[in-house]
Chain A
Amino acid sequence: NAGVTQTPKFQVLKTGQSMTLQCAQDMNHNSMYWYRQDPGMGLRLIYYSASEGTTDKGEVPNGYNVSRLNKREFSLRLESAAPSQTSVYFCASSETFGDSNQPQHFGDGTRLSIL
C-alpha cells in the first residue's frame, strides 16, 4: 500500500537553481495538495488541485508553480530557489474537494535546503 509517494526525500540546492518535486498517489483520489512545514508554523498550503485539470493557489503560492500531470501525479516546481524556501514539503491527497469531511493522506515529505 504505497499511498502518497514523494521524490526526492532530500535535496540541497543553491540559490537561483530550479527543481521539481514529484508526487504520486495510488488511491484514485481526485484532489491533491502541496504544503510546506516550517518550525513552529504548522503546515501551510502552497497550491492545490481540486480535480484533474485544475489548480489553485493556497496561502503561500509565491515562488512556486504546479502541474497536475494526470489524476495520479501532482508536481511542485521552484523556478529560482531562495533560502526562504528551505522547508519540508508535503504532498497530500483526498478523495474529493469541497467536502471537508474528507481526511487527507500525506506523503513522507521532501526535505529541501537552499544555500
Chain B
Amino acid sequence: DTGVSQNPRHKITKRGQNVTFRCDPISEHNRLYWYRQTLGQGPEFLTYFQNEAQLEKSRLLSDRFSAERPKGSFSTLEIQRTEQGDSAMYLCASSFMGQPQHFGDGTRLSIL
C-alpha cells in the first residue's frame, strides 16, 4: 500500500534561501491539500488542488509561497526568501472526491 509520500523529510536552510518540497499523493486521488503545523499546534490549511487546478488558498499562504500540481499528479510547494517564521512541518494530504484525507509524514523545515 503506497501512501502519501513527501520529500525531503527534513530540510535545514539559511534564512533568505528558497526551498521546494515535493508531495506524491495516493495514485487515484484527485484532490491534494497542503497544511502547515507548528510545534504544539494542530495542522493549518494552506492550499488545495483538484486535479491540476489550485482552487483555494489560505490567507496563510503569503506571496512568498507558491504551489503547483502539474498534470494533476505530484505537487510541489516552494517558499522563496525563507524567514524564521517559516520553520514548521509541512504536510500534504490527498483524497478521492469526498473520501477521508490521507496524510504523508511531512517535511520538517528548519531555518537557521
To the question of whether A and B form a pair in one complex, the answer is no
